[in-house]
Amino acid sequence: MGDISKNFDRSEFACSCGCNFNTVDAKLIEMVQAARERFGPIRINSACRCETHNRKVGGAENSQHKLGRAADIVPLTQAVTIDRLFKFFDENYSESGLGAYNTFLHVDSRGYKARW
């Protein structure tokens, strides 16, 4: 049981530098929870980022991570691919940001469509 949704804890979204930034957008939580329910276990690689940590990891200056509206996720079931996750979010959350990478999917709740 999670403390911010059925399957996710706030700590999974917290900035990994240890600064305690962990304010997560409710829409983002809804989105990743829906993916979890559809596809099974999902790991949050990176979500909230403070300005310092975002700069350290080479994040974009206007990163949605700095606003608590983005998560880089990885499916933990081999049958689930990044492409399948991308398609799910694209079909169900048109006003979101999606970026497919080799090892993870960036998903955010920015409120308008952005794809890369």
CA gap 98, 107 in Å, rounded: 5
DSSP 24-85: --HHHHHHHHHHHHHHS-EEEEE----HHHHHHTT--TT-GGGGT-EEEEEESSTT--HHHH
In a domain, 3, yes or no: no
In a domain, 67, yes or no: yes
Per-residue pLDDT for the chain (116 aa), expressed as one digit of tens each? 789 999 999 999 999 999 999 999 999 999 999 999 999 999 999 999 999 999 999 999 999 999 999 999 999 999 999 999 999 999 999 999 999 999 999 999 999 999 99
- Containing domain of residue 15, as a range? 10-115
In a domain, 80, yes or no: yes
In a domain, 4, yes or no: no
In a domain, 111, yes or no: yes
In a domain, 17, yes or no: yes
The model's pTM: 0.95
In a domain, 1, yes or no: no
In a domain, 44, yes or no: yes
The number of domains in the chain is: 1
Query: Which CATH number belongs to the domain containing residue 81 in this structure?
Result: 3.30.1380.10
